[in-house]
Structure 1
Amino acid sequence: MSTTETPEPVSTDVTYIGRRTLASNGKLGYAYLEGQRTRYYTAPLVTGAQIGARITITSPADEPDVYFSKGPRGPRIAGHVTDVDEPTLTAWQVADRAAYQLKADADASKRAAKQAAHLEQHIEALTHAARPLTGAQRAAFARYVEDRIRGW
């Protein structure tokens, strides 16, 4: 009867450098520096972490690309970088804001497109309602609709 020991999990410190647009799908990702390598995740390791935060992640010894996301071995903020110069930190913050703004603009465009389609349905309904009206009735109806839009 042999007993096999499970290897101890491995802890690694990564530095949060902000949100970035992922090249693979264009969605917003979260970038972390691990030594000289940048790793991207689709969700933040720790919610509310500031740019430059050092985060300790724990991985199973036999799977270094997997990390524990919850529980006592989940990611934890271990401090803030002190060995990074101010221009680099500022560059991380600017890149983070730019990626966030791109995502916000794309979301706003999608909402506007949906809203325009929705608005077009209402305009079509008003046009259909005004068809059987006489010229004077249409003018009164247009005035009524305009007043309702203005909230009068």
Structure 2
Amino acid sequence: MTQSANSLAAAVAVLCLTAPMALAQTPPGGGRGGGMGPPPALADVPAWAGRVFDRLDANADGAVTGEELAVLSSGPAAAMGGGRLRRMISQSDSSNDGRISREELIFGAERMFRRMDVNGDGVLSGDELPQPPTPPRAPSVPMPQGEPMPFPDFD
């Protein structure tokens, strides 16, 4: 699994949990299990990206701006990796005008899907599917080697 695929997995998880904060008017749908997970096939990406766009375009002006993406960089959303999602969506701004159109987001989502689709068959399956990030493990304390310490004699 590539780093970009893992980043996308984290980004999708953040979007699933934070998009309602963006004053969404359209409920999520599609994707795996009816949620906002990655679409199963390249053909499904435009509809999926359109729903993501609708969730983020809080003022319904036809563009997602930095102000609308700010919800991903604060509070619980930021703690879950929302900043990465914000950067990934911002990379879709091919016109560099600070406003992401529906078409730009769809194109960016298709580009990310193609990166994840390692075998190029247009379907995400098996090890191509993003895995949720694993929680960090507690550091292990090394055990001392050699002779154990003697117990004190209290006589």
Q: TM-score, normalised by structure 2?
A: 0.27
Q: With CA pairs under 8 Å and 6+ residues apart, which has the higher RCO, 1 or 2?
A: 2
